[in-house]
Amino acid sequence: MPAQYQVSGGSAAAISASIESGVREGGLELGAALPPVRALAESLGVSPATVAKAYGDLRRRGVVEADGRRGTRVRARPPVATPRSVLPVQVAPGVWNLSAGEPATDLLPPLGPDLGVIATDLGRPIGYADAGVLPELARAAGERLASDGVPLADAQITVTSGTLDAIERLLTAHLSPGDAVAVEDPGWANLLDLIAALGLRATPIALDREGPLPDSVAHALSQGARAVIVTSRAQNPTGAFVTERRSIELRSVLERHPGVLLIEDDHAAELAQVGLNSIGPVTGSWAFIRSASKPYGPDLRIAVVAGDAVSIARVVGRMRIGSGWVSTVLQRLLLRLWRDEGVTALVRVAAQTYEERREALLWALKERGIEATGATGINIWVRVPDETSAVGALREAGYAVAPGSLFRIESPPGVRITISALTDDGVEPLAEAVAAAVNPKGPAVASR
């Protein structure tokens, strides 16, 4: 903890507020270790129970996390705006940023032409009574999902402001603070942060290139997990995708737990070069989410959600008394993009380009004896002996990559490399730098 910041307070609420203020204002760095309970209690003249209560409150709200024997530390991405979180990601000059996990902006379809079309078609302004999910968008979404094999016989469809918005509404509709959610490990960093912010507990489930391991899911459910979240394709950060065989195995596990909420996340959708193998509906509560952000642009904050009637009704009902609805302008834009053959062609080009870039890097790493995974999507996951040294070595070589600690619960160390902006002539130098970072004492034996 920076020496200039001193935690203060004579009650649990005051201590909690002081720590949160330190995080918010930058006095406490993200990831900083907090003083041991007894040490802080002594310095503040309060009981250890008072400090423990303050730490517990911060943990339940996702501001801090327990770090085993090393005590308690500020989360790397707490649900509190900080000086760092309100600024763009800072990457040193000359360093290639491969850490963001974002699509390449030059491969996103331009929105201007379709915005222009819908602007002329909008007609009269709508009022509150006319807002909500556009029936034509719901029909088109149903057709697209059904063509991918998503079972929709008894499903309802709505739209939310992106995948995380949908997941948050589904979790709060079915779970209570303290409940456990089974999540992939390593898994989506934003999801882990959301679960912590909701006061829920993340229970890790192991995965391989075919998706979550059935035995690991069964174990999480036996330990009381009330929800399971599975990435259908382009899993972040490993690139795994649920195969037909694995979907059948997972269905067999989940059907023994009818009270569990199953959420399937198909965020990559049109960018995936593999078929979809939906798992649900197999439990009483189920939702399938497809976002538009990766194929069409992060600023298009909209996702289609299909699920059982109760789950969708709860999501829609909560939106009505909060944000209300997703802008019908955005809904019309998404519908127009789906119908635009030129946009569809551009998305296919992007999908093929990502495939080629990812495969090229995986092959270059394999030639150097480096273990990496990335069957689909825009990221690859590289196992490393030590994340700090690997990230530092790559930064020195001119590459910014994401440390695996953001994505892991119990799984071994690794780094995530985003390939979306990778160029043909950048593959070999990057692979060489990764090999040097993973094996600083010398080259590995090539695996051909």
Read off the pLDDT band of 84 (50, 70, 90): low
Question: What would the two tokens of residue 272 be?
Answer: 């995936």
Distance of CA 1 to the CA centre of its chain: 28
Same domain? 310 vs 208: yes
Q: What is the CATH number of the domain that holds 416?
A: 3.90.1150.10
Q: Which of 254, 243, 289, 282 is nearest to 182 (CA)?
A: 254
d(CA 343, CA 329): 18
DSSP SS3 for 155: coil
Instruction: Return the closest-CA partner of residue 290 out of 181, 167, 191, 115.
Output: 167
CA distances (Å), 57 to each of 52, 61, 203, 381, in order?
9, 6, 20, 34
Residue 290, SS3?
strand
Same domain, 363 and 259: no
Higher pLDDT, 25 or 390: 390
Overall average pLDDT of the 304-308 stretch: 96
pLDDT of residue 140 exceeding 80: yes
Residue 288 has pLDDT above 80, yes or no: yes
Residue 175 domain-assigned?
Answer: yes
Same domain as 249, residue 317: yes
Instruction: Report how far residue 362's alpha carbon sits from residue 381's, in angstroms, rounded to the nearest whole number.
Output: 10
CATH number at residue 22: 1.10.10.10
Q: Residue 121 has what pLDDT?
A: 76
DSSP state of 325: -
Q: Which of 319, 340, 361 is the last residue of a domain?
A: 340
pLDDT in tens, 270-286: 999 899 999 989 999 99
Q: What is the pLDDT of residue 119?
A: 80
Whether residues 253 and 156 share a domain: the answer is yes
Within-domain flag for 120: yes
Q: Cβ–Cβ contacts within 10 Å for residue 329, how many?
A: 13
- Tell the residue number behind the tokens 């008394």, with chain if given: 321
Domain co-membership, 333 together with 353: no
> What rounded mean pLDDT belongs to the chain?
91
Asked if 296 contacts 263 with a C-beta cutoff of 8 angstroms, the reply is no
CA distance 332 to 190: 27
Percent with pLDDT over 70 in the chain: 95
Shared domain check, 152 and 100: no
Cα angle, residue 209 at apex, residues 203 and 211 outer, rounded to 5°: 40
**In a domain? residue 79:** no
pTM listed for this prediction: 0.88
Task: Identify the domain containing residue 334 by its residue range.
Answer: 112-340
Q: Which of 77, 100, 102 is closest to 89 using CA atoms?
A: 100
Among 340, 366, 394, the domain boundary falls at 340
Note whether residue 351 is domain-resident: yes
CB atoms within 10 A of CB 172: 16
Residue with more model confidence, 112 or 235: 235
Q: Are residues 143 and 271 in the same domain?
A: yes
Give the mean pLDDT of 403-412: 94
Which of these ranges, 91-100, 103-112, 158-167, 284-293, has the smallest mean pLDDT? Answer: 91-100
Number of domains comprising the chain: 3
Domain shared by 368 and 267, yes or no:
no
Q: What value does the mean pLDDT take over residues 56-81?
A: 84
According to the 3-state scheme, what is the secondary structure of 329-360? HHHHHHHHHHHCHHHHHHHHHHHHHHHHHHHH
Structure tokens at 244: 């037909």
In a domain, 1, yes or no: no
| Judgement on whether residues 16 and 100 belong to the same structural domain of the protein | no
Q: Is residue 84 part of a domain?
A: no
pLDDT of residue 186: 97
Q: Are residues 285 and 224 in the same domain?
A: yes
Residue 182 makes CB contacts below 8 A (sequence gap 6+) with 203, 204, 205, 217, 220, 221, 225, 227, 228, 229
pLDDT of residue 85: 55
Residues 48 and 62 in one domain: yes
In a domain, 427, yes or no: yes
Give yes or no for residue 447 having a pLDDT over 50: no
Same domain, 184 and 233: yes
Query: What's the whole-number mean pLDDT along residues 149-172?
Result: 94
Residue pLDDT, tens place only, 203-233: 999 999 999 999 999 999 999 999 999 999 9
Question: 130 is written with which tokens?
Answer: 């006319």
Q: Are 276 and 241 in contact, with CB atoms under 8 Å apart?
A: no
pLDDT reported for residue 24: 87
